[in-house]
Amino acid sequence: PPPQPGHPQMGQPYRQDPQSGGVEDQDADVVAGASGGIGQPLSLLLKASPLVDHLSLYDVVNTPGVTADLSHISSIAQIDGYLPADNGMAKAFKNADIVIIPAGIPRKPGMTRDDLFKINAGIVQGLIEGIADNAPDAFILVISNPVNSTVPIAAEVLKKKGKFNPKKLFGVTTLDVVRAETFVQQLTGTKDPSKTRIPVIGGHSGETIVPLFSKAEPSVNIPADKLDALTNRVQFGGDEVVKAKDGAGSATLSMAYAGFRFAEQVIKAARGETGIVEPTFVYLPGVTGGDEIAKETGLEYFSVPVELGKDGAQKAHNIVKEANDYEKKLLQKAYEGLKGNIEKGVEFVHNPP
């Protein structure tokens, strides 16, 4: 039967309680790409979080099902889900607090993140236009790959619309941090790997990912003959998952965990909690302290530990200059790779293919 009025395919929100009048337009935390491999577990973690009181799910498919399913969880978050029909994106994004974007295709074996550019660039562009028009004050967390290019795309789209706030645009690189914490544990033997904080900086693909083990807190002692392998595993850890999934996609569950962990920090900082510092890929000239890092790296976008506050990125920490000689060599390679990735993103918006 055709969808009835009120059904989400008609662009109406699917509501937890259809009689309640809904909660749309009220400071939602939004997941765009909510029905995907990352989107579903990420939405689950957000729905279960006491920090989230309104969750709004958007995808081009399956949001009615995902929303109905999650709506039965007895947590505080109200939940709506939208499809594109009848202005669904605008409704999903309206006045959002945060929009987290895991929309787009993932890698298959043999693919690099850059291979995803052709499809994901356009998807991210469209979503960012929707955010600029409907939620210009939202924190934007970009998960869609290649992050090294999709974040510059997002910035350029927002600039064009006169809505760019660099303090609120973040490329999510937390999975690289999570992997570094996990993989180093095999050498340190600590009980809880998340207690060792390792800054991972640069970008989010292969050699642009630079773990700074010399800056770990508490400090870690990595035997010289193990350092190459460990660094390489952090840089290419995503390939292990792509290979094991054998054509069925890339990291989704660990990414959902990482995306949730970063989103939680952004939400806490926005609510006034202080002292929160997380590595994230930002537009350096727009963040306090970023100019110095831009000068040092020759790049406008880079991931460094960023202090988060009520209005977003408060301060970018110049950890680049604290890297040891081994890490400085890695950084040189990262700069080269990043330069091309960033230019490609900027170019996509200014001279569309």
The residues annotated as belonging to the active site are 204
172 binds ligand NAI (CB under 6 A): yes
Choose which of 39, 203, 211, 286 interacts with ligand NAI (CB under 6 A): 39
88 binds ligand NAI (CB under 6 A): no
Residue 155 or 318 having the CB closest to ligand NAI:
155
83 binds ligand NAI (CB under 6 A): no
Choices 44-52, 104-112, 229-237, 329-337; region in contact with ligand NAI by CB under 6 A:
104-112
Per the CB < 8 A criterion, the answer to whether 329 and 210 are in contact is: no
16 binds ligand NAI (CB under 6 A): no
Instruction: Report how far apart, in Å, the C-alpha atoms of 148 and of each of 76, 223, 301 are.
Output: 35, 31, 8
Q: How far is the CB of 33 from ligand NAI (least distance, A)?
A: 3
116 binds ligand NAI (CB under 6 A): yes
Choose which of 28, 143, 169, 342 interacts with ligand NAI (CB under 6 A): 143
Residue 168 or 204 having the CB closest to ligand NAI:
204
Choose which of 145, 165, 205, 303 interacts with ligand NAI (CB under 6 A): 145
Choices 4-12, 154-162, 246-254, 309-317; region in contact with ligand NAI by CB under 6 A:
246-254
Residue 103 or 320 having the CB closest to ligand NAI:
103
104 binds ligand NAI (CB under 6 A): yes
Tell me how far apart the terminal alpha carbons of the chain are, to the nearest angstrom: 40
Q: How far is the CB of 176 from ligand NAI (least distance, A)?
A: 7
CA separation for the pair 50, 71 (Å, rounded)? 15
Token pair of 31, please?
A: 């997941």
Q: How far is the CB of 215 from ligand NAI (least distance, A)?
A: 21
CA separation for the pair 344, 338 (Å, rounded)? 10
| CB-neighbour burial class of residue 159 (10 A; exposed 0-12, middle 13-18, buried 19+) | middle
Choose which of 77, 132, 147, 282 interacts with ligand NAI (CB under 6 A): 147
204 binds ligand NAI (CB under 6 A): yes
Choose which of 8, 33, 81, 152 interacts with ligand NAI (CB under 6 A): 33
32 binds ligand NAI (CB under 6 A): yes
43 binds ligand NAI (CB under 6 A): no
Count of residues near ligand NAI by CB under 6 A: 34
144 binds ligand NAI (CB under 6 A): yes
Residues lying near ligand NAI in the complex (CB under 6 A) are found at 32-33, 35-39, 58-61, 102-107, 116, 120, 123, 126-127, 143-145, 147, 172, 175, 204, 249-252, 255
